[in-house]
Amino acid sequence: MTDIESVVNRMVEIEIDGDDGFRKVKETLTRMGVPAKSDKKLFQSVHILHKQSKYYLCHFKQMFELDGREATLSDGDYARRNRIIQMLVDWGLVKLVNVDDKNLEPMGKSSLVKVIKHSEASEWQLEKKYAMGVKSAVKFENGNKG
């Protein structure tokens, strides 16, 4: 198994309803994450990935791993990712594919995730720690991407 396959296997495969479903999930994820302590800024935790005709939900650090960058996911990172996935399932936005309860462990508490209402999104600065389709151009002395 390649490194990429290993990373993808730790993501959660989902089903969604068409392009409109993809857009809804993608937009919803921009409003779910970790708030800054001092101002109205929210950092997106989970992204949707479309790869080889399949859809996956993953933590932004898993996207770094796909790009070949160093990333260490903590139990807290997985717990937040899994809580967000469970919320999307509960809201009927996604269906899980080949996932049993162990794939969503650890499961974080709802208090780990801030969800901004769509109507309040303009009042917040929504930040992404990973930009889809943009690979880091930074290279270290040993030639590895940063």
Q: What confidence tens digit (pLDDT) does each residue in 4-61 have?
A: 888 888 899 999 987 799 999 999 999 999 999 889 999 999 999 998 889 999 999 9
What's the CATH code, domain 3-128? 3.30.70.650
The answer to whether the Cα torsion of 4, 25, 42, 99 is positive or negative is negative
Cα(95)–Cα(98) distance, integer angstroms: 10
In terms of pTM, does the model score above 0.95?
Answer: no
Backbone φ, ψ for residue 29 (5° rounding): -60, -30
Q: Which of 30, 64, 23, 71 is nearest to 47 (CA)?
A: 30
Domain locations along the chain: 3-128
